[in-house]
Structure 1
Amino acid sequence: MTQKLILDVDTGIDDSLALLYLLASPEAEILAITCTAGNVPARQVAINNLAWLELCGAPQIEVALGSEVPVIAPLMTTEETHGDQGIGWATLPAPTRALSERHATQVWIEHVRAHPGEVIGLVTGPLTNLALALRIEPELPRLLQRLVVMGGAFNHEGNTTPTTEWNIAVDPDAAAIVFQAFSGLPAERRPLVCALDLTEQIEMKPEHIRRIAELAGSTPAEVISPDDPEGTRSQASNPVVRHLSDAVRFYMEFHRDQGQGFLAHMHDPFAAALALHPEMAATRAATVDVELSGTLTRGTTVADWRGMWGREHNAAIAWETDPAAFFDHLVERVGSFARAFTP
């Protein structure tokens, strides 16, 4: 059986790998990709998605532009983390596919109305588009099968400010709207939240890229080394491997320069895997809200685990997983998928 998905992204290096993973997954039926500003501006996000789809020979999946600014806050982007175009050192061929004429909010609403209880919403960027859709269709939480969100930091330091995670920090007002709207759902339909507490354990290493290339039959052996000159480009014969390697190398160089090691935290592919296979992580129920007025803490996600607020739980927070097993799954999926593109 396939799982219908709406993918809302700010692509993004790790969003790119999440998309490749979903394209490689036979149980994923991507109904549409909606684009929001975050890692890079929304129009660049749309170009990146169209380019990846075309490179991979994907079916004609609708790619819709969403909000180009947050609900209230001024836009932040992070080209220093993801590169000028959002895909690191990769230079994808310019896409010939056309952007949808529909706005992202229209796409969200019409798909969930057409398939009530069947669609999983996967948001790996700021929650802006979903918050705007909720203003038009407040029943959207009950029309979705489930929402999966990459965002937040609970008992973990932030990656944007000392207490905030990037996707929430870009548009905390949207995040607050979404978490409030998804209250009152049965436990199995509460939003599944993949926060930094777990996603920063999902550390992609050069060995993972080497294994993907090997499975794809790409030559020569794909070696990403911390000793290479910065910005070294892949010579892989396989175009999917080559562009993925160039994107991930940039991300590894960024993490190294931040003192985190020569690795890349793959937040979004992990969230994509949980959208299809929620059993890959243990979860904890909590009531989640977002700080909006704190001078130092605006954008901080707060989880009430023990019911101190007297409000019902509105989220299932992914809490434990086996990173090695996840990467075995990811490598097999993406490497096998990329094999079709080896000359």
Structure 2
Amino acid sequence: MVSRLPNLHIVDLGSITLVATGPLTNLALAARLDHEFPQLLESVVIMGGNIYGKGNTTPSAEFNFHVDPEAAYIVLSDFNTSIYIVSWELTLEQAVDMNWFKSLLNVKTKRGEFMKSIHDHSLVKLASPETASCSGVKDWIPCDPAAMAVALDKSVLKTYKTCPCTVELTGTVTRGQMMVDWNSLSGQSKTIHVVTDLHNEKLKELMLAGVQ
């Protein structure tokens, strides 16, 4: 029952789009505690997984899914609601110019100052050779903002493919990799909206609005 999840029963769950920007452990646990919980959400937007097999933690797995592959498997399988995947590779393709991003952080508003304070450390890390070699890009990768943009304004979506998806749990070198059944060969009926492209200028517009 929803009463098992006291932090949620005070809101209208039926109108909620839940945005997941980290490992999916809590979502999977909520579904196990209350089997009705997934159906109470309008949609879920997940920043995580990889759609072309390009990893950032292992050669084949993205961090959020690799940390808890079983949780990712449960969410993709058991959440009977509309799910959008904003993958690691998609965010690489949406990278914004680093100078533009730094100018965003210098907007003199309370929101801008807050954004700057929470990104100061990560900007130092992003400049490290290890991080640069992992991503293969020198610009700023908008992982979480891309997922939030999809949740807030569907006009940012340029293209997406609706198809079955799952997560590899036992592969020797592929544990945590998301499998996208692009051609619906698996026979699975459960489908996921896999985002394949965004309107980059719209994404930047939404990011700028966020610090105003």
TM-score category (smaller protein)? 0.7 to 0.9
Instruction: Report whether the alignment pairs 1:312 with 2:189.
Output: yes
Instruction: Report whether the alignment pairs 1:216 with 2:108.
Output: yes
Instruction: Report whether the alignment pairs 1:289 with 2:186.
Output: no
Instruction: Report whether the alignment pairs 1:126 with 2:23.
Output: yes
Instruction: Report whether the alignment pairs 1:193 with 2:85.
Output: yes
User: Contact 1:201/1:323 (CA < 8 Å) preserved in 2?
Assistant: no
Cross-structure match for 2:5? 106
Cross-structure match for 1:240? 114
Amino acid at match of 2:160: T
User: Number of residues paired by the alignment?
Assistant: 205
SS of aligned partner of 1:272? helix
C-alpha displacement of 1:263: 2.4
Instruction: Report whether the alignment pairs 1:154 with 2:51.
Output: yes
Cross-structure match for 1:250? 124
Distance 1:208 1:247, change over 3 A: farther
1:47-106 per-residue CA deviation (whole Å, 9 max, x = no partner) reads xxxxxxxxxxxxxxxxxxxxxxxxxxxxxxxxxxxxxxxxxxxxxxxxxxxxxxxxxx83
Q: TM-score, normalised by structure 1?
A: 0.54
> C-alpha root-mean-square deviation of aligned residues, in Å?
2.4
User: Contact 2:101/2:140 (CA < 8 Å) preserved in 1?
Assistant: no
1:189-244 per-residue CA deviation (whole Å, 9 max, x = no partner) reads 421111123111222433223432554279xxxxxxxxxxxxxxxxxxx7435414
Runs of at least 5 residues in structure 1 that lack an aligned partner in the other structure: 1-104, 219-237, 337-343
Distance 1:194 1:262, change over 3 A: same
Structure (1/2) with the larger helix percentage: 2
For the pair shown, the structure with the greater C-alpha radius of gyration is 1
SS of aligned partner of 1:168? helix
C-alpha displacement of 1:257: 5.5
Distance 1:150 1:259, change over 3 A: closer
Distance 1:260 1:145, change over 3 A: same
User: Contact 1:157/1:164 (CA < 8 Å) preserved in 2?
Assistant: yes
Equivalent-residue separation in structure 2 for 1:269 and 1:259 (angstroms): 17
For residues 1-343 of structure 1, the aligned pairs below 5 Å read: 106-107=5-6, 110=9, 114-182=11-79, 185=80, 189-213=81-105, 215-216=107-108, 239-240=113-114, 242-254=116-128, 255-256=131-132, 258=134, 260-281=136-157, 282-334=159-211, 336=212
Q: Which moved more, 1:248-257 or 1:142-151?
A: 248-257
Higher relative contact order (CA 8 A, sep 6+): 2
User: Contact 2:42/2:82 (CA < 8 Å) preserved in 1?
Assistant: no
Cross-structure match for 1:60? none
Distance 1:239 1:312, change over 3 A: same
Amino acid at match of 1:311: Q
1:256-313 per-residue CA deviation (whole Å, 9 max, x = no partner) reads 3547343231211110111111231121101111111111111111011222111113
Distance 1:249 1:180, change over 3 A: same
Equivalent-residue separation in structure 2 for 1:202 and 1:324 (angstroms): 10
Runs of at least 5 residues in structure 2 that lack an aligned partner in the other structure: none
SS of aligned partner of 1:264? coil
Amino acid at match of 1:240: F
Equivalent-residue separation in structure 2 for 1:130 and 1:175 (angstroms): 9
Equivalent-residue separation in structure 2 for 1:289 and 1:257 (angstroms): 28
User: Contact 1:153/1:165 (CA < 8 Å) preserved in 2?
Assistant: yes
Distance 1:305 1:251, change over 3 A: same
Q: TM-score, normalised by structure 2?
A: 0.85
1:16-54 per-residue CA deviation (whole Å, 9 max, x = no partner) reads xxxxxxxxxxxxxxxxxxxxxxxxxxxxxxxxxxxxxxx
User: Contact 1:109/1:137 (CA < 8 Å) preserved in 2?
Assistant: no
SS of aligned partner of 1:298? coil
Amino acid at match of 1:264: W
